[in-house]
């Protein structure tokens, strides 16, 4: 289950995230989730087996190529 919450971002931060997400063929939401998961794994706060699968909209998603 996904938890929904409101996130307020500075306009410049959002625009940078939007461009980065587009570069990686992800939605802004999927990009934020990817970055948070990666940061949590790198810091040791989320074990590899505990991580949910990557967001479905992006180059990491399984599907026809």
Look over the chain and give the mean of its residue pLDDT values, rounded to a whole number: 85
Say which residue, 37 or 49, is predicted with more confidence. 37
What is the model's pLDDT at position 11?
A: 98
pLDDT in tens, 13-37: 999 999 999 999 999 999 999 999 9
- C-alpha to C-alpha distance for 36 and 17, rounded to whole angstroms: 13
Q: What percent of the chain stands above pLDDT 90?
A: 66
| pLDDT, average across residues 38-59 | 77
Indicate whether 52 belongs to any domain.
Answer: no
Count of the separate structural domains present in the chain: 1
Indicate whether 61 belongs to any domain.
Answer: no
User: Residue 38 belongs to what domain range?
Assistant: 11-43
Residue 35 exposed, middle or buried by CB count within 10 Å (0-12, 13-18, 19+): middle
């Amino acid at each position: 289950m996904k938890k929904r919450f409101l996130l307020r971002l500075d306009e410049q931060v959002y625009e940078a995230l939007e461009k980065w997400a587009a570069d990686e063929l992800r939605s802004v939401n999927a990009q934020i989730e990817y970055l948070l998961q990666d940061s949590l794994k790198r810091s040791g706060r989320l074990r590899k087996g505990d991580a949910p699968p990557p967001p479905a909209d992006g180059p990491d998603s399984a599907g026809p190529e």
